[in-house]
Amino acid sequence: MENMTLNLRIWRQASDSDSGELVDYTVRNVSPDMSFLEVLDVVNDDIVKSGNEPVAYDYDCREGICGSCSLVINGVAHGPREATTACQLFMRHFSDGDTITVEPWRAKAFPVVKDLVVDRSAFDRIQAAGGYVSFDTGGACDANEILVPKEAADAAMDAAACIGCGACVAACKNASAELFVGAKVTQFALLPQGQGERDRRVLAMVEQMQEEGFGPCSNEGECQAVCPKEISVAHIQTLHREYTRASMRRIFGAG
């Protein structure tokens, strides 16, 4: 496959308080083996050489692990490839002459910092509200002494695979964070180490989620469709069950 010429329409916005717009950039000699972020690097090189402000965007590992590369590409969170972060999206999945629109996550709870960078600290506050165990679990040998059924361990690991990138929020018309919160609640609810704070955890995390301004789930499955780790919407069902259980125990007592 030969090198390509692409037209990128990139969202430029100085801050959350400023209005933004899509700006066209032409990038030439794009190798099919380049990642999407590498193309943005080339665009920024050209912008800097022309004496202008480069495009701000987030990244860290560039290995599909951290989820920092939060981009909406042609209207899809992380782009057109399933189970793929933007940093692992390669240009061989596009064609010569394509116009590609690049935007930030769109959610009230994820305000724009600059250009393609959004503030996702709302997820950190939800996690801090209850997504942990507060007692000493000991070392690896101590953990191995706690018997956990393989089915529960596997399901907990599936939930724990969530990297908190926020694609689920960006894809949802309600900007719901229930897939993220559901995964974090589920991973502890399935394990014996998470039982001590089970009720308090889900109540605190849901309360913080609502306080941050995320919307409700309307069961359309867009969150699962764009999740780079393929987190199942079944975790949203678990979240609702856990929240109902904890609410009833708070009202009627835990006895």
What CATH number corresponds to the domain at position 27? 3.10.20.30
Express each pLDDT in 84-119 by its tens digit. Answer: 999 999 999 999 999 999 999 999 999 999 999 999
**Domain identity same for 52 and 127:** no
Confidence band of 132 (pLDDT split at 50, 70, 90) = confident
**Domain identity same for 142 and 230:** yes
Express each pLDDT in 55-87 by its tens digit. Answer: 999 999 999 999 999 999 999 999 999 999 999
**Domain identity same for 108 and 125:** no
Q: Which amino acid is at 121?
A: S
**Domain identity same for 95 and 212:** no
**Domain identity same for 105 and 160:** no
Domain end (from 89, 114, 139): 114
94 in Cβ contact with 87 (< 8 Å): no
Measured between its terminal Cα atoms, the distance across the chain in Å is 67
**Domain identity same for 19 and 92:** yes
Domain end (from 82, 114, 146): 114
The whole-model pTM stands at 0.94
**Domain identity same for 86 and 158:** no
**Domain identity same for 128 and 235:** yes
Confidence band of 162 (pLDDT split at 50, 70, 90) = very high
**Domain identity same for 246 and 136:** yes
- The CA–CA distances, whole Å, from 239 to 86, 149, 203, 245, 249 equal 28, 21, 10, 10, 15
Express each pLDDT in 166-177 by its tens digit. Answer: 999 999 999 999
Q: Give the domain range for residue 44.
A: 4-114
β-pair type (72-73, 4-12)? unpaired
Per-residue confidence (pLDDT) for residue 254, from 0 to 100: 64
198 in Cβ contact with 188 (< 8 Å): yes
**Domain identity same for 139 and 230:** yes
Split into its structural domains, the chain has a count of: 2
Q: Average model confidence (pLDDT) for the chain?
A: 95
Q: Which amino acid is at 174?
A: N
